[in-house]
């Protein structure tokens, strides 16, 4: 699991997929991966999420890390892991989700909003803690939290895009998750993927960013 955690952190960016149609979802993932993104997350709020997850794992095995998002409890953690999720993400902190993933040797990335929640998640064994919604807290929050808790890898999610992601990384986030800005629902439903390609290319450059705190 440690190797997978290091690989995930090295990517610095996870593309978060939340779309209403599975065929378009797979096409959107394909475009993002073709244009440099090497870590993606299929949210459980996407219709046929488990099927998309299975297909994505088979199709991009060895080319991109494929995880599951919006995993709220132990039961769903087991389902996504059985479907092939390489990491499990949640907007909340649920002990069952964390324990189930750890037992399966799959990195859990639970959600937290406060320093207390961040530390509680870390004590449960979470190797990376998702701070959500990041834009509500602001980039400065990461700098302030990292001062007393430098040992906890943080993933900033919520309101991030190709323009502000670097600010959060420089402030102290170890990685970022980008959803709607990377996978714009209206454009994709209209069959337009140019925005996905351009945003994926811009975000993929962040893995080469020099960070003082890394």
Residue 71 belongs to some domain of the structure: yes
For 8, the token pair is 């995930």
pLDDT tens-digit map of 158-184: 999 999 999 999 999 999 999 999 999
Residue 51 belongs to some domain of the structure: yes
With a cut of 90, say whether residue 212 has pLDDT above it.
no
Count the neighbouring beta carbons within 10 Å of the beta carbon of residue 73.
15
CA torsion sign for 198, 199, 201, 202 is positive
CA torsion sign for 143, 148, 153, 155 is negative
Judge whether 78 counts as a catalytic residue.
no
For 179, the token pair is 């959803």
Residue 120 belongs to some domain of the structure: yes
Judge whether 130 counts as a catalytic residue.
yes
Residue 102 belongs to some domain of the structure: yes
Count the neighbouring beta carbons within 10 Å of the beta carbon of residue 186.
8
Residue 213 belongs to some domain of the structure: no
pLDDT tens-digit map of 98-157: 999 999 999 999 999 999 999 999 999 999 999 999 999 999 999 999 999 999 999 999
Domain that residue 127 falls in:
2-207
Catalytic residue, chosen from 30, 41, 143, 192, is 41
- pLDDT computed for residue 176 by the predictor: 98
pTM above 0.85, yes or no: yes
Q: Which residues does residue 156 pair with via DSSP β-bridges, in sequence order?
A: 131, 176
pLDDT tens-digit map of 12-40: 999 999 999 999 999 999 999 999 999 99
The domain tally of the chain equals 1
Catalytic residue, chosen from 55, 78, 130, 146, is 130
Separation of CA 3 from chain center: 17
Domain CATH for 23: 3.20.20.70
Residue 214 belongs to some domain of the structure: no
- pLDDT computed for residue 211 by the predictor: 86
pLDDT tens-digit map of 62-100: 999 999 999 999 999 999 999 999 999 999 999 999 999
Residue 175 belongs to some domain of the structure: yes
- pLDDT computed for residue 214 by the predictor: 61
Residue 56 belongs to some domain of the structure: yes
Phi-psi region of 120 (alpha: psi -120 to 50; beta: other; left: phi over 0): alpha
With a cut of 80, say whether residue 203 has pLDDT above it.
yes
Question: What confidence tier does 186 reach under pLDDT thresholds 50, 70, 90?
Answer: very high
C-alpha dist (Å) from residue 189 to 30, 42, 46, 160, 162: 15, 17, 14, 21, 21
């Amino acid at each position: 699991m440690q190797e997978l955690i290091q690989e995930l952190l090295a990517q610095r960016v996870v593309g978060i997929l939340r779309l209403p149609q599975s065929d378009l979802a797979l096409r959107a993932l394909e475009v993002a991966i073709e244009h440099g993104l090497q870590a993606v997350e299929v949210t459980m709020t996407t219709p046929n999420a488990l099927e998309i997850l299975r297909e994505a794992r088979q199709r991009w095995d060895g080319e991109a890390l494929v995880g599951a998002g919006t995993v709220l409890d132990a039961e769903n953690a087991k389902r996504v892991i059985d479907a092939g999720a390489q990491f499990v993400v949640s907007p909340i902190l649920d002990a069952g989700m964390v324990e189930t993933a750890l037992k399966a040797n799959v990195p859990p990335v639970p959600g937290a909003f406060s320093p207390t929640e961040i530390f509680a998640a870390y004590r449960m064994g979470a190797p990376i803690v998702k701070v959500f919604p990041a834009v509500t807290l602001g980039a400065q929050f990461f700098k302030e939290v990292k001062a007393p808790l430098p040992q906890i890898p943080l993933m900033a999610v919520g309101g991030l895009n190709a323009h502000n992601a670097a600010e959060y990384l420089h402030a102290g986030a170890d990685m970022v998750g980008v959803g709607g800005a990377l996978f714009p629902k209206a454009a994709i439903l209209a069959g337009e993927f140019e925005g996905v390609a351009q945003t994926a290319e811009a975000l993929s450059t962040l893995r080469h960013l020099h960070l003082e705190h890394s």
